[in-house]
Structure 1
Amino acid sequence: MTFYAINGSPRKRGNTAVLLDKALQGVKDVIPDADTKIIHVYDYSYTGCVSCYACKRKGGKYYGRCAKKDAISSLLPELSQADGLIIGSPVYFHSLTGQLQAFLERLLYPYLAYGKEYYSIAPKHMPVAFVYTMNATEEKAQQMNYQIKLSPMEEYAGVVFSPPAVLYCYDTCQFDDYKRYMAQRFSEEKKLQRRQEHFPIDCENARGMGRAMAQKITGQNPTAEGSPGRI
């Protein structure tokens, strides 16, 4: 079995990457011999969907798959055969990173069929999870309706593959040393305290999400902490 984590952050050792790694560890807790891989989208040069509609052309060579040729062309069909996908992104301007948005356009759109209702022509259905990291507090995120603002890709991933589990990680540290940056709106002391006290909980929640994904695949009852829903 193969499970992928898709890191939508430019940082390979940042908060998002750490949580994705914990989620993959959770998969291994349940399926020790699972093949787990992390994809750093910023390692690849590509564009988002270019609206060529080759993936929608009836009887066409590329019906149901992306015709665009670039660095992720061979990766997309590989992902469509996974046993589970865990997608992570820091929140930039109230949304996913642009690089991840472009990647998911290419991954999801070819499998989204235009019937009277949307339906999926993906070759395989699988459990999906989204992990978000942000410097906003939980209270601020709720005030800014992040649950709604971040949901569009969750919705389409749900149609194409399966309704996703979702994990939010609030009030994260952005810098190693806040004194080196213009960031007066943040308290370094409070940020570091939050990281020390709460980030381990976020990591365990991510690991629980991975365990639940693997349990779903193996037919076990998923633990509540990682079941489809929002943490």
Structure 2
Amino acid sequence: MKLMAFNGSPRKKWNTATMIEHALEGAREAGAEVELVHLYDLDFKGCSSCLACKRVGRKEVGVCAMKDELKPVLDRVREADALLVGTPVYYGTESACARAFLERVQYPYLNYANYDKSYFPRKIPTGLLYTMNVQESLLEILGYPVTFERTRAFLARHFGSCELLLSTNTSQYKDYDKYETGFDKADKARHHAEQFPKDCQAARELGARLAQGYQS
């Protein structure tokens, strides 16, 4: 069983990456082979709308025609048994790098002739993990759930299922005295110390479920 995880954050040791690592530990404990891809390490762009993956009579179905550093990664996705995408929330949505990846990994499998039938060769479980500085109480006010659910639903449509995990009110800085902030620093530190370990445990449990072939 192979689980591929994708870090859509430019940071490799902060909130998103930490939660992904816990998810991978859970998957390993459940017997899975895992691979972590740091998307910001790759030179690639989002979908170019070349429409090669939609041409009638094309030689391959479900294959992106763009040739760049993401191409071999997408080839490995076709062989994976589960996927996990983690991203920080920037301006109310995924990071630009995560968004570009989501376009490229999904669009070739979108079947315009039959929206109910994905071109992905089988059904696999996926997970979508968001970390964000905003407090949970503000999610509805800012309209975040609509964005998160839309992305989750697209992943479920293309691959078979998708489970959503949120980590809110995370710490942006190691030292809040060195950077601008409108938050109560003591309250922020207290919340992070109490809640983030719980979020990491939830990520570990998600990784285990993905490794076990969870389907919602």
Q: TM-score, normalised by structure 1?
A: 0.89
Aligned pair 1:155/2:147, yes or no? Answer: no
Secondary structure of the structure 2 residue equivalent to 1:129: strand
Give 1:9 shift: 0.4
Give 1:58 shift: 1.6
The aligned runs of 1:117-196 (5 Å cut-off) are: 117-183=115-181, 185-196=182-193
One-letter amino acid matched to 2:8: G
Residue 206 of structure 2 aligns with which residue?
Answer: 209
In the alignment, the residues of structure 2 paired with residue 182 and residue 70 of structure 1 have an alpha-carbon distance, to the nearest angstrom, of 37
Aligned pair 1:66/2:39, yes or no? Answer: no
Give 1:62 shift: 4.5
Residue 27 of structure 2 aligns with which residue?
Answer: 27
In the alignment, the residues of structure 2 paired with residue 14 and residue 67 of structure 1 have an alpha-carbon distance, to the nearest angstrom, of 33
Residue 39 of structure 2 aligns with which residue?
Answer: 41
In the alignment, the residues of structure 2 paired with residue 150 and residue 160 of structure 1 have an alpha-carbon distance, to the nearest angstrom, of 16
In the alignment, the residues of structure 2 paired with residue 85 and residue 214 of structure 1 have an alpha-carbon distance, to the nearest angstrom, of 9
One-letter amino acid matched to 1:170: T
Percent pairwise identity: 37
Secondary structure of the structure 1 residue equivalent to 2:90: coil
Give 1:40 shift: 0.5
8 Å Cα contact 2:61/2:119 also seen in 1: no
Residue 91 of structure 2 aligns with which residue?
Answer: 93
Give 1:125 shift: 2.0
One-letter amino acid matched to 2:111: A
Residue 9 of structure 1 aligns with which residue?
Answer: 9
Secondary structure of the structure 1 residue equivalent to 2:124: coil
Q: TM-score, normalised by structure 2?
A: 0.95
8 Å Cα contact 1:94/1:150 also seen in 2: no
One-letter amino acid matched to 2:178: R
Secondary structure of the structure 2 residue equivalent to 1:71: coil
Aligned length: 216
Secondary structure of the structure 2 residue equivalent to 1:211: helix
Residues 129-173 of structure 1 deviation map (CA, whole Å, 9 limit, x = unaligned): 111000111101122121112222222211110221111101000
In the alignment, the residues of structure 2 paired with residue 159 and residue 115 of structure 1 have an alpha-carbon distance, to the nearest angstrom, of 14
Secondary structure of the structure 2 residue equivalent to 1:191: helix
Runs of 4+ in 1 over 3 A off after TM superposition: none
In the alignment, the residues of structure 2 paired with residue 71 and residue 149 of structure 1 have an alpha-carbon distance, to the nearest angstrom, of 28
In the alignment, the residues of structure 2 paired with residue 89 and residue 103 of structure 1 have an alpha-carbon distance, to the nearest angstrom, of 11
Secondary structure of the structure 2 residue equivalent to 1:9: coil
Residues 173-222 of structure 1 deviation map (CA, whole Å, 9 limit, x = unaligned): 00010111111x1122111111111111001111111112222x2xxxx6
Gaps of 5+ in 1: none
